[in-house]
Amino acid sequence: MSSSKHDSGLLVEWVPKDPSISILFVQAALSGAGKAGFDYRKILTDAKIEPELLNEPQARVSPDQYTRLIQTLWLTMNDEFIGLAKNKSPLGSFAMMCLSIIHCKTLYQAIKRGARFGKLSLGELDLRLEVKGDDAILSLHLKDPAVDPTHFLSECLLVIMHRLYCWMIGKRIILDGALFNYPQPAHVNEYYGLFCRKLSFDQKITGLQFNRRYLDMPVVQDERSLKEYFKLAPANLVTRPKYDDSYTAKVRALVNQSDNATFPTLDDVAAQLFTTPSTLRRNLKKENSSYQEIKDAIRRDISIHLLAETNLPLQTIAEKLGYTEASTFQHTFKKWVGITPGAYRGKLNEEK
């Protein structure tokens, strides 16, 4: 960033805990509402997302914006499947499923009971658990796959179930692989944060693979903690799960935890990860990433958060990101997102 202060002026307190979300997932979430004839512009505005962002393939939204979008879709459509399945899933269906499995003794029992609930209550949803040697594979099957042409519903349900099961046993379920019965999409990089680093496409099933030892682990939650869990929904269900063991995620987490006003150096980060700078660079390269790209992504996500959630002037946001001129920030933001900061805000902040 030759045109800005060298990594100065960044207030780490503004770093979002979760990365921003591609506009592709916003478009996918809205597809069911569009088919049902709902006004997508009003839905986006209620979620404090500028509708014009849909026209920018590079655009991204903050986790808070995406959470509001799902909440708005739920309430507008009275459907937890947000119009992406043949039949509706009335509001409260997920809560009832959770209540039906929270008293299970083990994760294995919870998964099997949850699968029966889905099949009996929703009909078209079939969640299967298969154990082969040390591997457990949780796969999702739709009675009519044609209702989910973007695969967004299947992916979203797998993420939700993974998050729920991790919470139920109080442990991170490390995924050994994620399988998809369709070709690799152009936005495959978005999948690493959602699932894991080992992605396999053009498979017979869509599902998650993990070690079978998790199946014998006890359920440590109860109805009381479940009530608290519901209070966080859908933020704890629809944003990215914090179970990414990649070096990219580890580096970002270290920056999030930093108590300094500037980015740590690559040497500092490597030391905290008990590795050398050259090894860290090499590992990041294997993930198609770099420390500079991670810092740029964090700057981008901070700017998206501040534009969407605050009334701060562009000059102030630019200074927080380390830029001396607002014009430099505006130019860089447009390269990141495909739209200027002012256009990103649109008329949203006029209501604040």
Distances (CA, A) of 295 to 19, 132, 249, 257: 12, 41, 12, 14
Q: Which two tokens stand for residue 160?
A: 């939700």
For the beta carbon of residue 142, count every other beta carbon within 10 angstroms: 19
Q: What is the mean pLDDT of the chain?
A: 85
Give the strands of the sheet with 125-132, arranged side by side. 125-132, 135-142, 207-211, 175-179, 199-200
For the CA atoms of 294, 296, 298, 303, the dihedral, rounded to the nearest 10 degrees, stands at -170
Angle between helix 93-101 and helix 223-231 axes, rounded to 10 deg: 150
Cβ burial, residue 263 (10 Å; 0-12/13-18/19+): buried
Angle 331-187-125 from CA coordinates, rounded to 5°: 135
For the CA atoms of 194, 195, 199, 203, the dihedral, rounded to the nearest 10 degrees, stands at -100
Closest by CA position to 21, among listed 328, 265, 300: 300
Higher-confidence residue of 88 and 331: namely 331
pLDDT value of residue 16: 55
pLDDT value of residue 260: 57
**Strand bridging mode 199-200 / 175-179:** parallel
What is the enclosing helix (H) or strand (E) of 38? none
Beta partners for 179?
Answer: 200, 207
Q: Could you read off the pLDDT of 269-302 as tens digits, one per residue?
A: 999 999 999 999 999 988 888 999 988 888 898 8
Distances (CA, A) of 312 to 285, 338, 352: 36, 21, 11
For the CA atoms of 171, 173, 174, 179, the dihedral, rounded to the nearest 10 degrees, stands at -170
Extents of the domains making up the chain? 1-17+244-352, 21-77, 93-238
Q: Mean per-residue pLDDT for 330-337?
A: 92
Q: Please state, in angstroms and rounded to a whole number, the distance separating the CA atoms of residues 344 and 303.
A: 10
Q: Please state, in angstroms and rounded to a whole number, the distance separating the CA atoms of residues 61 and 50.
A: 10
- Which residues, 6+ apart, have CB-to-CB distance to 209 below 8 Å? 135, 136, 137, 175, 176, 177, 178, 179
What phi-psi label fits residue 237: left (phi over 0), alpha (psi between -120 and 50 degrees) or beta? Answer: alpha
Confidence band of 4 (pLDDT split at 50, 70, 90): very low
pLDDT value at 9 more than 60: no
Q: Mean per-residue pLDDT for 200-212?
A: 96
Q: Tokens 């459509």 — which residue? A: 77
Q: Could you read off the pLDDT of 141-172 as tens digits, one per residue?
A: 888 888 888 898 899 889 889 989 999 999 88
Q: Mean per-residue pLDDT for 331-348?
A: 85
Q: Mean per-residue pLDDT for 46-58?
A: 90
Q: Mean per-residue pLDDT for 93-107?
A: 93
pLDDT value of residue 226: 92
Distances (CA, A) of 247 to 189, 208, 221, 256: 14, 21, 30, 14
- CATH superfamily of domain region 1-17+244-352: Homeodomain-like (1.10.10.60)
pLDDT value of residue 28: 92
Confidence band of 123 (pLDDT split at 50, 70, 90): low
pTM as predicted: 0.78
